[in-house]
Amino acid sequence: MAGGVVKYRHLSRNSAARQALLRGLVTSLVAHEHIHTTWAKAKEAQRLAEKLITLAKRDNAATRSKAQAILYTPHDLLPKLFGELRNRYLNRPGGYTRVLRTEPRNTYDQAPSAILEFVDGPRDMRFMITAKAVARAQVHGVSRLNELTKKNVAKVTRYRQDGTEGFDKLVQSFRDKLRISKKKGGQAEVSEADS
């Protein structure tokens, strides 16, 4: 059948298999706060994860039972969901997860790959990449940051609980590492992932 608007990705599965897949991905995301999967699966799981955090922010009996129906291991993960994650995102109006495209994991099928992660968490990639960019600029003597880096600094520190203090600590640690590698090699090494 041609044409028509698709409201969601079917992921080459029937309804029950798709729901089971998404529940498994979201359960892993809540447990590890960071998962690597295909881009299409990450985008669909992101929708369910955002709804789950919204349920946790409401925190009543009805939302607890709905969250329990989504997670595969609710007895392990409900305390984390309604405790740590709820407190982290209580003041954030939305946008609790981030999907970052990566290189394809499998060299044979070349499926578009992505990382789905919670923002403002301990494994927040944008927070680390921005801190590394600021540290590199400070080591190389750049007095002014470009507009994109300034915007990223504002984004990653805006709703974070430790905010600028945590960012400054991470920049300091990256700056120390870059200075050590600069002394050893004569010039700080910059990998493709850093730029």
Q: Domain check: are 27 and 110 in the same one?
A: yes
- Write down the pLDDT at residue 140: 87
Residues 25 and 62 in one domain: yes
Out of 118, 137, 162, a domain closes at 118
Residues 94 and 141 placed together within one structural domain of the fold: no
pLDDT at 185: 67
Residue 195, pLDDT score: 43
Residues 44 and 112 in one domain: yes
Residue 16 CA from chain centroid, whole number? 27
pLDDT averaged per 10 residues, the chain (length 195):
77 93 96 94 96 95 96 95 94 93 85 93 89 91 89 91 90 89 62 45
56 and 105 in one domain?
yes
Give the pTM. 0.80
Domain membership flag for residue 7 = no
Q: Which of 118, 136, 161 is the last residue of a domain?
A: 118
State whether 141 and 102 are in the same domain. no
Tally of domains within the chain: 2
Are residues 155 and 171 both part of a single domain? yes
- 132, 61: one domain: no
- The answer to whether residues 45 and 140 belong to one domain is no
In a shared domain, residues 130 and 152: yes
* pLDDT at residue 123, rounded to an integer: 84
Structural domain includes residue 159: yes
Residue 9 is predicted with a pLDDT of 87
Residue 171 included in any domain: yes
Q: Report d(CA 136, CA 141) in Å as an integer.
A: 9
One domain, residues 86 and 29: yes
Q: Judge whether 43 and 99 are in contact, CB under 8 Å.
A: yes
In terms of residue numbers, what domain contains 83? 15-118
Residues 170 and 86 in one domain: no
The 3-state secondary structure of 153-193 reads HHHHHHCCCCHHHHHHHHHHHHHHHHHHHHHHHCCCCCCCC
